[in-house]
Amino acid sequence: MEILLSFFRKKGVKRVLILILISLCLYFVRSMINLLLFTFIFSYLMDRLVQVFTSKFAIKRTIAVILLYFSVIFLLIYGISTYLPVVIQQISGLVIQLTDFYMQPHDNVVLNFIVNKINDFSITTYLHQGITFIFKYFTNIWGNLLQVFMAIVLSLFFLLEKDRLRLFANRFHTSKIAPIYFECMYFGKKFVATFGKVIEAQFIIAIINCILTTASLYFLGFPQLFGLGIMIFLLGLIPVAGVIISFIPLCIIGYTVGGISHVISVVILIMVIHSIEAYILNPKLMSSKTDLPVFFTFIVLIFSEHFFGVWGLIVGIPIFIFLLDILEVKSDKKEGSKKSSNKKVISK
């Protein structure tokens, strides 16, 4: 009995058990996971924005929070009321354009071969299911907007009472559940340091990719740029695979607009944008946080999409990085930098 108690008193065992307990709690509240994720993402991103704003301007934190939230809410209301009908119309136009491309006969032997293979694999059935899913999503858009609004309100109160919440949390230091609280605080810090930073970097990368790609498509004469921009931004939130997924519809639209020359232009454009993301944006914004092989990236995305749906494509990689951080799996870059710094110290 004493051996069993000493086993459960070990720090590693306690952390694993508490992590399982947290996972079970999240499983039981899975119907509210959208609200939880929206609230965390809004809180983290707005907190970072407030920090930047207060560092640039001599203004109190509370006033900065209120001003930024009023600006965000105003932009959301204006954007939804003005551009949501345009987005729906342009996305519908894109679907019709892709369908027309598929249904019409082509003189190109390669294209006919691809269309025949699509028929063999019953891709049209999956396309119909995808369009049905999109239709259901847009019909439930007010429910999704309500969740976004609730998340914005919760994150607003969180940032306004951040100091009071910290003081309230300190009361658990001497409570009967103090050991559980300290372990939860450890996981919370790790989660913010990995998941939050990766999500922040992915948002910035998605915005930059969207601006660069949409501007390039404008010069190539692509139609429905606003709808394409929304699609590119949402796919840009998916690490690595988002660029590849956006490649297919862009090539099809490019072929209908200007033929093979536009397809070649789109291929070059996607390669350049992907190179900018892989060699400039990722190292600059994510550092060694997502130093994963492409194979592991796709495996994580496939499994996370299967178990968590669309959310899995966005949060799968950050959660996997969070688990690696808990398991203390070190990056080669970190190890290399530590070794080089140790060599410098020894040489001095």
With bands split at pLDDT 50, 70 and 90, how would you rate the model's confidence at 154? very high
pLDDT digit string, tens, across residues 160-208: 988 898 899 888 888 888 888 888 888 888 888 888 878 888 888 888 8
If one compares 262 and 114, the residue with the highest pLDDT of the two is 262
What pLDDT sits at residue 101? 62
Residues with Cβ < 8 Å from 108, sequence gap 6 or more? none
Query: What average pLDDT does range 37-61 have in this prediction?
Result: 87
pLDDT over 80 at 287, yes or no: no
Residue pair 277/205 in contact (Cβ under 8 Å)? The answer is yes
**To the nearest 5 percent, what fractions of the chain are helix, strand and coil?**
85, 0, 15
Residue pair 194/329 in contact (Cβ under 8 Å)? The answer is no
Is residue 106 classed as helix, strand or coil in its secondary structure? coil
With bands split at pLDDT 50, 70 and 90, how would you rate the model's confidence at 326? confident
What pLDDT sits at residue 23? 84
pLDDT over 50 at 265, yes or no: yes
Q: Which residue has the tokens 């178990």?
A: 307
Predicted structure pTM score: 0.70
Q: For the chain, which residues make up each domain, given as ranges?
A: 11-160, 194-330
Residue pair 317/239 in contact (Cβ under 8 Å)? The answer is yes
Least confident piece of the model among 22-31, 116-125, 310-319 = 116-125
pLDDT digit string, tens, across residues 58-86: 888 888 899 989 988 888 787 777 766 76
Residue pair 141/148 in contact (Cβ under 8 Å)? The answer is no
